[in-house]
Structure 1
């Protein structure tokens, strides 16, 4: 049975329902599942809870779903690049569960491993720990964090074979593998699908057993913040720098 689908809409067919929880890969605008996000927008599915490191920027990435008001709650660690996110949150239109970045990655990984919860020192004594169970281990206080078990994971890889064995590139590896593992169903978009057996097994970042559906397509790869320095001064012939 093939895992490869022709488009994001085809790959998402039969998986979406109002009120579902989605785990989304990506770090900033790096490695985000652009095509699948567009598919969610087109579907009109609503009241979503989305677990993602951030919420994209205004009008791009997960920011598109905020603009269409399809998101009910975000589980995130960083929201500073999206003015609409902040506006909705401050207006009481969007629920927000702040989660430290490392804790969020571990919550996703724990869900993928079937672990319902774990204790961590991160967040103890802050608003992150409010309403959560605290426990002492060897004289230190820890807070209980729950694993994330998403109805659907949407992720993006650089390259994958036809069975879903995937390689992520650089920063895109931060959240995509744990996000993929935390979904009961995982749909992955890739820049290139290669024949099975082409990839070196030692280079695989995510085994295909976690991936249920695949699509390939072009990506915009927008840069979140472009920072450049002035061109270095050059000396003409016979001149000194």
Structure 2
């Protein structure tokens, strides 16, 4: 039951070209930077990533993006990542934009074994009707557009069907974890991490603090160890290295 792995490099060693990844984090909060860096050094390419956003320029998933290792993203936000926008608009990257709440539920449903669900988000828009540009051509035309989705009426209201998401691997970061893979997240860093952990067939967790089984209060555990296959304990320096996306100070 001891799921600890000595290094991040060993944890990501079997992630191959063309693998799909669910990655936790929101902006720069709760991002599994150490696992991402290890994957960057490992060299896997043609990756399909599911994440709220694709990091920032020079940080998080932005490192893999800038290296040309990501070919497809399912997310809800492009944000201030100029390289992400450049690659998408230039036809170098396929992007499936998804409403944020829908994305979180697609990940949760995948982890719960639910193949699809109906939601009102996106009804009457291209989300449901199809035609959202997934990939642009070199001339700026839409090379690949989103397909139309099933719409059904329930109790007089329309809902669009969304498919659940499961991925080959998941990368997450937790504040505390034990050797059985039980995880606890700290405040806003919880964000998409539990959902990504559930959706991955093989989930890798980097933890800022590793404790022994039995030390965590069962009522405080956010992700059960049943969803986690590998745990990497961070060094104090790695645990403390947390970037600030936008520093704001008073005069």
2:176–2:208 CA contact under 8 A, matched in 1: yes
1:162 to partner: Cα distance? 1.2
C-alpha separation between the residues in 2 aligned to 1:99 and 1:12?
A: 27
2:242 to 193, 213, 221: 221
Instruction: Provide the C-alpha distance between the structure 2 equivalents of 1:222 and 1:128, rounded to a whole number of angstroms.
Output: 33
* Rg larger in structure: 1
1:63-102 residue pairs with structure 2 within 5 A?
63-102=62-101
Match of 1:112 in 2: 111
Residue of structure 1 equivalent to 2:18: 19
Name the counterpart of 1:9.
9
Taking the aligned partners of 1:62 and 1:114, their CA distance within structure 2 comes to 27
Residue matched to 1:238:
none
- Kept after mapping to 2: 8 A contact 1:56/1:81: no
Cα distance in 2 between the residues matched to 1:127 and 1:225: 32
CA distance in 1 between partners of 2:13 and 2:83 (Å):
28
Give the deviation of 1:46 after TM superposition.
1.0
CA contact (8 A) 1:19 1:46 kept: yes
Runs of 5+ consecutive residues of structure 1 not aligned to the other structure: 231-241
Give the superposition deviation at 1:13.
2.2
Q: TM-score, normalised by structure 2?
A: 0.89
Instruction: Identify the residue that residue 50 of structure 1 maps to in structure 2.
Output: 49
- Which residue in 2 is equivalent to 1:161? 178
In the aligned structure 1, how far is the partner of 2:45 from the partner of 2:13?
A: 15
> Which structure is higher in strand share?
2
Runs of 4+ with deviation above 3 angstroms: none
Greater alpha carbon shift after TM alignment, 39-48 vs 63-72: 39-48
Deviation per residue, 1:19-44 (Å, 9 max, x gap)? 11100001111000001101111111
Number of aligned positions between the proteins:
229
Structure 2 portions without partners, runs of 5+:
131-147
